C-alpha cells in the first residue's frame, strides 16, 4: 500500500511538466540528433541517378568464385551519376513501386540506422507507395519471415542514433539449402524486388551467394559494408582504393580514444597504475592504430607489425653455426612480453611508474605459437563436430574433459607412430599454458567458426608474463624507479646529510637529472653493505633515515588496471562522419536497386578525402572473394583487410613510438581527441589514418 508521501510525489510528477521533462528519456541530444539532416553527396542533389558500368577497375578473380558465382562474377564497378531530368523510360524504371527488404547481420555499428533512413527516404521519394521491410533479429528474420514494414514514425525515431535497435540484429548465416529455400519463400511471399544485407565480411559473402541463388528469381541483392574493426577495405588489382573503410569504424575509434585519453589523464595524475587497454579488432589492428594516433599512448601493439618481426640476432647466431633458425621469423609471446617490459623499465628509470598500453584483441593471432594452437584446435573441433551427432563442447563441457581428449590424441600419435594433428609435443607445450588461457583457446567458436578473441583474456596473458619478467629484473636490480636529483638533494639536506658524499655510493649515474640506484643494491641488506663498504656508516650502525627513504622510493611496484573497449564503442551514437557515411550508403543502395544492379556492394569512393570529393559507387562482390579456412574447411569468403605496415600512417606511428613512450623527464605527449560529436566542427571529420595517408601523397 502506497504511503501518503509516495502518493504526493506521484501527483507532483504527473502535474509538473518541468519535472516530467527532466526525468523523460528524451534528452536534448536525442532531439537534436533526430532532427539533424546529414549532408548529401553531390550526385544525390539531383532528382534522379543512373549507374554506369566502368572498365577502369580490374580484379584478380579466384577460379572458385568464377565457378560458384557464374551469374554475378561478370559484374563491373558501377559509378553513380546524377540527372536533373530523365526520359519517360528511365522515370518509369526509377520510380516504379517497389518492395525492398533490409536486414542487419552481425554486431552493431554506429551509422546503421542512417543506412535505413537513406534507403527509406530515397525509396519513398521515388515512389511513396513503395514499401521498405525491416527483417527482425538479423537473417533469422528472413528465414522465418519475421519483419516490420517501416514507417515515418519508426524511421524518424532512430535517425542519427547508434545501435541497431530499430530492427535488431543476429549472427545466423543463410548457409544451407533449407535456409536458402526458406529465404526465397519469404521473398516470394513479400513480393520483394530487392534485399539489402548490412554486415561484415561474412554477411557480404552471404549477400554474394544470395545474389547468385536469387538471380533467376529477379530478386536484387545489395550488400552494405559494416564493421567497427575496419577490416572491409576494397582495392582493385592495381591497388586503387574503392572502399577505404566500413561505417562504424570512425565512431568506435573515437569512442575508445576518448576513454583511453581519460585514462592517460588519470594515469599521469595518480602516477601509480599502468592501464592496459584491449580494443576490438579480431584479425586486424586498424582500431588500435587509429586509437594510437588519437591518443598517443605510451605503448601500442600492432599485430601485423609483430607478424613481420625478424630476430636478427638469432639469425646471425644460426648463420655462424651453419644453420637456419626459422623460429627467428615472427614474434613469440615471450619476446613480446620482453618488449613491453623494456618500455616499462625505461619509463621507471625517469620516475614514471605508470602509463597506458593499447592492445588489439586479436594480437595473439599474430604470435607464432598461439596461431599454431588456434589452427590445430579449430581443425580438431571442426572434425569432431562433423563426425559425431553431438558437438565437441557439449561432450566435453569442462576444461579437464577437453584436456583429456587432447591427451588421448597425443597418446594415439605416440603409440601408433602415425601422423596426427595433435602430438605429444603439442600436448606438452599446451600444458605449460596457464589454465585460464587453455580455457580461452578451447572456448566455443562463433557461428562462423571463428576463434572468439574477445572471450580470451589477452591482456591477462601478456601481463602475466610481463609481471614474471619484471620480478626477475627487479631481483637483478635492473628495474628501478628513477629519483629526481632535486628530490634526492632536498631529502638528504633535510636530514643534514651530504648529497655529494652519498650520491656516488647509491647511484650509478649520479649527476644526471634522474638517478638510478645501483644494480647491486637490491635490498636493505645490500644497501647496508654498500654504505659500510664506502665508509658512510660503520658495522652495526643503522641506515640513515633519509637514505633508506630514498632507497624505498626506488623500489618499483607494478600495478595494472585492465580495460576492454568494444561493446561500448560499437553502441555509441555515430560521429558526424558515420552519420553522413551511413545515410549516403542508404541512398547508394537504393540507386543501385533502381538501376537494376544485383550482387553489388554499396560503397563510397574517396572517403579518405574531403567530403565534396566523395563518389558513391557499386562494387561487385564476387570478384573480391577468396578461399580461406573456416570451421576447419576451406571456404569461399570475402577477403579481410589487415593493417598495411608499409602505409604512411603506420610508419609515422612507428617513427613516433619513442616519443610517445615518454622515457624522458617531463610531461608525456598524450593527445586529447574529445568526445564523439555529430555536428561540432572540432570533431575529427575523418579517421586520422586517412588524413596521414593523404598528406603523405601530397609530398
Catalytic residue status for 486? no
Q: Are 431 and 342 in contact (CB under 8 A)?
A: no
CA 496 from chain center: how many Å?
A: 56
Nearby residues of 641 by Cβ (< 8 Å), 6 or more positions away: 230, 231, 232, 233, 234, 284
- What's the per-residue H, E or C state across 325-361? CHHHECCCHHHHHHHHHHHHHHHHHCCCCCEEEEEEC
| DSSP letter, residue 272 | S
Question: 639, exposed or middle or buried, with CB in 10 Å at 0-12, 13-18, 19+?
Answer: middle
**Quick check: 80 and 588 in contact, CB under 8 A?**
yes
**Which cell numbers hold the place of 593?**
536497386
Q: Which residues fall within 8 angstroms of residue 540, CB to CB, at 6 or more apart?
A: none
Are 240 and 615 in contact by the 8 Å Cβ rule? The answer is no
Closest CA to 601 of 37, 59, 144, 173: 59
Cα dihedral 359, 361, 364, 365 sign: negative
Q: Which helix (H) or strand (E) holds 279?
A: strand 274-279
Active-site residue, from 121, 193, 201, 229: 229
Backbone torsion region of residue 485, taken as left when φ is above 0, otherwise alpha when ψ lies between -120 and 50, otherwise beta? alpha
Q: How far apart are CA 620 and CA 187, in angstroms?
A: 22
Question: Cβ(324)–Cβ(318) under 8 Å?
Answer: yes
Stated length of the chain: 699
- Per residue, the 3-state secondary structure of 447-486, as one string, reads CCCCCCHHHCCHHHHHHHHHHHHHHHHHHCCCCCCCEEHH
Which among 189, 194, 233, 226 has a CA at the least distance from the CA of 104? 226
State CA 122 to chain mean position distance. Answer: 32
N-terminal to C-terminal alpha carbon distance within the chain: 76
Residues with catalytic annotation?
Answer: 229
Amino acid at each position: 500500500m502506497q504511503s501518503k508521501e509516495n502518493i504526493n510525489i506521484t501527483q507532483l510528477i504527473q502535474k509538473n511538466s518541468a519535472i516530467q521533462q527532466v526525468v523523460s528519456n528524451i534528452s536534448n541530444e536525442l532531439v537534436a540528433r533526430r532532427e539533424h539532416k546529414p549532408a548529401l553527396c553531390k550526385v544525390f542533389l539531383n532528382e534522379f541517378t543512373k549507374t554506369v558500368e566502368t572498365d577502369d577497375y580490374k580484379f584478380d578473380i579466384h577460379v572458385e568464385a568464377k565457378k560458384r558465382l557464374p551469374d554475378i562474377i561478370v559484374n563491373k564497378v558501377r559509378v553513380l551519376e546524377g540527372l536533373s531530368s530523365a526520359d519517360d523510360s528511365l522515370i518509369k524504371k526509377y520510380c516504379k513501386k517497389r518492395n525492398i527488404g533490409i536486414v542487419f547481420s552481425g554486431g552493431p555499428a554506429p551509422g546503421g540506422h542512417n543506412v535505413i533512413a537513406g534507403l527509406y527516404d530515397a525509396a519513398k521519394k521515388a515512389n511513396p507507395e513503395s514499401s521498405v521491410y525491416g527483417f527482425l533479429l538479423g537473417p533469422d528474420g528472413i528465414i522465418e519471415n519475421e519483419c516490420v514494414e517501416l514507417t515515418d514514425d519508426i524511421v524518424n525515431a532512430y535517425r542519427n542514433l547508434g545501435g541497431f535497435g530499430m530492427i535488431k540484429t543476429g549472427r545466423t548465416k543463410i548457409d544451407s539449402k533449407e535456409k536458402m529455400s526458406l529465404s526465397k519463400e519469404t521473398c516470394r511471399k513479400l513480393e520483394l524486388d530487392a534485399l539489402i544485407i548490412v554486415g561484415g565480411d561474412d554477411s557480404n559473402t552471404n549477400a554474394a551467394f544470395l545474389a547468385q541463388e536469387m538471380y533467376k528469381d529477379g530478386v536484387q541483392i545489395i550488400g552494405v559494408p559494416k564493421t567497427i574493426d575496419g577490416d572491409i577495405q576494397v582495392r582493385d588489382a592495381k591497388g586503387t582504393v574503392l572502399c577505404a573503410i566500413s561505417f562504424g569504424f570512425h565512431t568506435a575509434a573515437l569512442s575508445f580514444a576518448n576513454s583511453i585519453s581519460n585514462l592517460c589523464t588519470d594515469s599521469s595524475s595518480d602516477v601509480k597504475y599502468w592501464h592496459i587497454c584491449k580494443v576490438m579488432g579480431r584479425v586486424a589492428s586498424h582500431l588500435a592504430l587509429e586509437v594510437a594516433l588519437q591518443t598517443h599512448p605510451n605503448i601500442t601493439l600492432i599485430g601485423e607489425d609483430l607478424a613481420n618481426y625478424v630476430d636478427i640476432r638469432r639469425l646471425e647466431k644460426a648463420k655462424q653455426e651453419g644453420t637456419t633458425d626459422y623460429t627467428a621469423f615472427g614474434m613469440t609471446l615471450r619476446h613480446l612480453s620482453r618488449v613491453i617490459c623494456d618500455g616499462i623499465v625505461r619509463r621507471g628509470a625517469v620516475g614514471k611508474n605508470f602509463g597506458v598500453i593499447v592492445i588489439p584483441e586479436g594480437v595473439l593471432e599474430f604470435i607464432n605459437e598461439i596461431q599454431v594452437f588456434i589452427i590445430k584446435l579449430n581443425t580438431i573441433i571442426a572434425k569432431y563436430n562433423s563426425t559425431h551427432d553431438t558437438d565437441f563442447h557439449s561432450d566435453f563441457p569442462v576444461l579437464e574433459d577437453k584436456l583429456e581428449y587432447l591427451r588421448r590424441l597425443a597418446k594415439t600419435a605416440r603409440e601408433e607412430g602415425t601422423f596426427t594433428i595433435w602430438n605429444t609435443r603439442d600436448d606438452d607445450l599446451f600444458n605449460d599454458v596457464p589454465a585460464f588461457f587453455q580455457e580461452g583457446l578451447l572456448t566455443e567458436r562463433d557461428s562462423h567458426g571463428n576463434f572468439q578473441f574477445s572471450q580470451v583474456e589477452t591482456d591477462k596473458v601478456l601481463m602475466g608474463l610481463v609481471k614474471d619478467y619484471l620480478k626477475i629484473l627487479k631481483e637483478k636490480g635492473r628495474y628501478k624507479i628513477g629519483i629526481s636529483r632535486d628530490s634526492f638533494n632536498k631529502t638528504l639536506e633535510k636530514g643534514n646529510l651530504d648529497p655529494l658524499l652519498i650520491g656516488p655510493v647509491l647511484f650509478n649515474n649520479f649527476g644526471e637529472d634522474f638517478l638510478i640506484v645501483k644494480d647491486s643494491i637490491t635490498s636493505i641488506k645490500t644497501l647496508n653493505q654498500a654504505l659500510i663498504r664506502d665508509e658512510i656508516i660503520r658495522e652495526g650502525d643503522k641506515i640513515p633515515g633519509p637514505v633508506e627513504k630514498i632507497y624505498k622510493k626506488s623500489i618499483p611496484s607494478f600495478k595494472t588496471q585492465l580495460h576492454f573497449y568494444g561493446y561500448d564503442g560499437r553502441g555509441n551514437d555515430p560521429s558526424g562522419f558515420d552519420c553522413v557515411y551511413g545515410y549516403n550508403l542508404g541512398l547508394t543502395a537504393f540507386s543501385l536497386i533502381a538501376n537494376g544492379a544485383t550482387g553489388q556492394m554499396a560503397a563510397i569512393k574517396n572517403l579518405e578525402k574531403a567530403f565534396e570529393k566523395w563518389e558513391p559507387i557499386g562494387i561487385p562482390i564476387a570478384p573480391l572473394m577468396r578461399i580461406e579456412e573456416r570451421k576447419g574447411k576451406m571456404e569461399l569468403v570475402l577477403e579481410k583487410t589487415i593493417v598495411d605496415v608499409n602505409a604512411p600512417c603506420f610508419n609515422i606511428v612507428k617513427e613516433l613510438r619513442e616519443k610517445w613512450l615518454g622515457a624522458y623527464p617531463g610531461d608525456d605527449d598524450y593527445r586529447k581527441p574529445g568526445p564523439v560529436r555529430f555536428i561540432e566542427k572540432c570533431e575529427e571529420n575523418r579517421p586520422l589514418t586517412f588524413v596521414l595517408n593523404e598528406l603523405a601523397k601530397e609530398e
